[in-house]
Amino acid sequence: MSGAPPSEQAPQSEPGRSTLRCVRVPLATTPYDVWIGHGAAERLASVMPDSSRQVAVVTQAGVPDVVKVELPALRCEIGDGEAAKSLSTVEELCRAFARAGLTRADCVVAVGGGIVTDVAGFAAASYHRGIAVVNVPTTLLGMVDAAIGGKTAVNLPEGKNLVGAFWQPASVLCELDALDTLPARELRCGYGEMAKYHFLTGEDLLSLPMAERIARCVAIKAVVVAGDERETATNAGDRGRAVLNYGHTLAHALEVAGEHDLRHGEAVAIGLVYAAELAAELGRIDAARVAEHRRVVREYGLEAALPPGSDADALIALMARDKKALDGLTFVLDGPRGVEVVTDVPRAAVERALGRMSGLVP
């Protein structure tokens, strides 16, 4: 996955605005564009379906008001935090759509972070068995990951993202104006996902300006998604869409455990280093490669150690419920062929790698 993928298009200039970058997600049946830059949200009217007569804007309190909707619009605010990623929230949205008389010809516009695009996307996929959705991510995490690729889901008490649907957006508008007021911790949350892309390609993304780095992350994801849209490549050795979950197996377990105040990107950073330690435990990579993982995570200003008091047995039980776990404990790990799915990982290796992450093993 080296070099610029074919999905990256030449930057385009908008009158009176800075250059916008456009990345094509080249799906066989429903290709779409991701626009990145200051003023990207101004393209909303041009990317909504022509059939739209009204719009449902799904957002959260405090999210920057970056979109201007010229059609009649219903505003739906959902709650904050992972608790809002629930089936009850999806039901509330769909009932609001029904009361407003939204039809299959209309459009949902999701404005916010990954929780908003996940929930709004699943509601759009479910309402009338599918209504168009345009994602306008306002967080760095949303721009480089959650808003792109069509994976929508909500949580259950038993695990993250266990109920959902594949529903591709009509377009994604990454409005960089929204990052100007993003709290430092929310930026770090996005950095955790950004760090992942370093290890999928081997590129030094830290050397790029922010707008170019976002566009590059989007382009990398676009190529992976186009090659395995519905994540069917989940067998040992596969390098399909599951590679985008690099670092996420432990990350999701840490989030579901709920014992620590961790945002998704912070948990992913810990998960990336853990995946490297586990790969080294299995003899797939050497110590220098583990050190490279720690260096990249550190340069993004993120922590790499397990939170104090983590329960190894509880984390392993949660990791065993991961969606990839079709054949024993399953992880996405680095190795001689790059990042790929590894199945039936011995529990003893998982425990030893966790021990090193918490300082219990030299």
Q: For the chain, how far is it from start to end, CA to CA, in angstroms?
A: 35
Does residue 2 surpass a pLDDT of 90? no
Does the annotation count 248 as an active-site position?
yes
Q: Which of 245, 263, 266, 324 is catalytic?
A: 245
pLDDT tens figures, 90-125? 999 999 999 999 999 999 999 999 999 999 999 999
How long, in residues, is the chain? 362
Does the annotation count 263 as an active-site position?
no
Question: Which CATH architecture does the domain made up of 232-357 adopt?
Answer: Up-down Bundle (1.20)
Quote the percentage of the chain above a pLDDT of 90.
Answer: 80
Does the annotation count 323 as an active-site position?
no
**The pLDDT value given to residue 324:** 67
Helix (H) or strand (E) segment spanning residue 234: none
Q: Which of 186, 193, 229, 255 is catalytic?
A: 193
Q: Which of 21, 248, 263, 323 is catalytic?
A: 248
Ranges of each domain in the chain: 12-188, 232-357
Question: What does residue 82 show for φ and ψ, rounded to 5 degrees?
Answer: -60, -25
Does residue 70 surpass a pLDDT of 80? yes
Contact 122, 154 (CB under 8 A): yes
The CATH classification number of 12-188 equals 3.40.50.1970
Chain-centre distance for alpha carbon 190? 9
Residue type at 29 in one-letter notation:
T
Does residue 239 surpass a pLDDT of 90? no
Does the annotation count 264 as an active-site position?
yes
**The pLDDT value given to residue 237:** 66
Contact 244, 224 (CB under 8 A): yes
Q: Which two tokens stand for residue 182?
A: 């993003």
Does the annotation count 221 as an active-site position?
yes
pLDDT tens figures, 250-307? 999 998 887 788 989 999 999 999 999 999 999 999 999 999 999 999 999 999 899 9
Q: Which of 21, 85, 216, 221 is catalytic?
A: 221
List residues bridging with 173 in a β-sheet: 35
